[in-house]
Amino acid sequence: MWTDRLVSGVRALPDGRPAWCAGAVVIAGRGPVVAAEAAAGWAVRYRAYDPVADRGVDLPRDLWERMRVGTVFDLASLTKLFTALATLQQAECGRLALDEEVRSRLPAFAPGITVRQLLTHTSGLRPELPLYERRGRAAQLELLWDQAAAPDGRPGSGHRYSDLNLIALQLLLEQCTGQRLDVLVREGITGPLGMRSTSFGPLAPQGVAATEDQRRPWAKADRGMVRGEVHDENAWALGGVAGHAGLFSTAQDLAVLCRTLLNGGAYGAARILRPATVAALLEPPGLGFAVDQPYFMGELAGRGAAGHTGFTGTSLVLDRVTDTFLVLLANTVPPRRRDGGSAPRAAAATCLARAASRRR
């Protein structure tokens, strides 16, 4: 069966040569039904990274922790999806408009940059800034204001993926609601949907997958082995709550989010968005979601599949045509970050695509 192939493929990821990840969790389903669910490898294994030997230094064997379906992951850029959802919720409430200029609320922004452009990564802002090099929120945001006043690219001229877009959305949301992003996400998304394992950190380490022995020169900060605190250096510098990174969650909770979106914004008695808003969220070019990206969606791409990836190894994809979803959370950065590519993500998505196509 396809579920056996999907599960066996994911279980092989931590043991490959070279291994793609330390551990992984996969959940796939159709509509309200979970068809496949599995965990493999280790949530915690390494004490540190040895740059001379170019390998991880293992903890004592009795301190290794197996990956479980309920293991909590640093979602990295999957956080962006929640910021996008919160933005659209405020648009539904009339507190902001997608085509309004950002400078109407954040005066440092140059003319012509709209909320929609932040969501679609067409604002012209550069991919990132070294906020982690500055102490204090005011000094950190000064870097953003300088870029916002004179973006590297012309607003609306083309797609340029940028963490700064989502940090700007966070600031805009906080300005127009008077609430922090973590409160908006909890009260508007995770609370109503019963996603009890989803929150911003820091978290107690038990049950959380470790990420990286974060040290220069391969990283941007010297923090040692990171676990329960956000891996992204800029999100960490911003206090752990940021529009582009900082959320932690489980595959089970993310499956609930996927079901909600496939169902037009409702899950059980809870509704977080209207069906028309969900359609706009997921249709090209996607409002916060990537659409039809074969590098991680495999053969699900090409028919309107939407999803996102995260630097730590996280990803989700959903396909409204076949009413299917795939959540693959892998811990690809321990003991130190490397570019392992997205081939395993694409292979898992292709497995689901072929199975769903046969059952249509």
pLDDT tens digit sequence for 107-160: 999 999 999 999 999 999 999 999 999 999 999 999 999 999 999 999 998 999
Determine the pLDDT at residue 18: 79
Q: Is the pLDDT of residue 213 over 70?
A: yes
Residue 301 banded pLDDT, cuts 50, 70, 90 = very high
Name the 3-class secondary structure at 353: helix
Strands (E), the chain: 23-30, 33-44, 46-50, 55-58, 65-66, 73-74, 199-200, 213-214, 224-225, 247-249, 266-267, 270-271, 290-291, 306-309, 314-319, 324-330
Residue 98 banded pLDDT, cuts 50, 70, 90 = very high
> In this prediction, what percent of the chain has a pLDDT beyond 90?
94
Q: Is the pLDDT of residue 81 over 90?
A: yes
Round to whole Å and give the CA distance between 148 and 161: 15
Determine the pLDDT at residue 357: 77
Q: Is the pLDDT of residue 80 over 70?
A: yes
Is 346 in contact with 294 (CB distance < 8 Å)?
Answer: yes
The β-bridge partners of 333 are none
Cβ neighbours of residue 307 closer than 8 Å, sequence gap 6 or more: 289, 290, 293, 296, 297, 315, 316, 317, 318, 326
Q: Is the pLDDT of residue 89 over 70?
A: yes
Round to whole Å and give the CA distance between 358 and 211: 38
> For residue 202, how far is the Cα from the chain centroid?
17
Round to whole Å and give the CA distance between 11 and 9: 6
Q: Which domains does the chain possess?
A: 2-74+201-358 (3.40.710.10), 82-182 (no CATH)
pLDDT tens digit sequence for 201-211: 999 999 999 99
Cβ neighbours of residue 48 closer than 8 Å, sequence gap 6 or more: 56, 57, 213, 224, 225, 335
Residue 360 banded pLDDT, cuts 50, 70, 90 = low
**Minimal CA–CA distance to 58: which of 74, 66, 46, 70?**
46
Amino acid, res. 340: G
pLDDT tens digit sequence for 226-283: 999 999 999 999 999 999 999 999 999 999 999 999 999 999 999 999 999 999 999 9
Q: Is the pLDDT of residue 42 over 90?
A: yes
pLDDT tens digit sequence for 319-355: 999 999 999 999 999 999 988 899 999 999 999 999 9
Residue 310 banded pLDDT, cuts 50, 70, 90 = very high
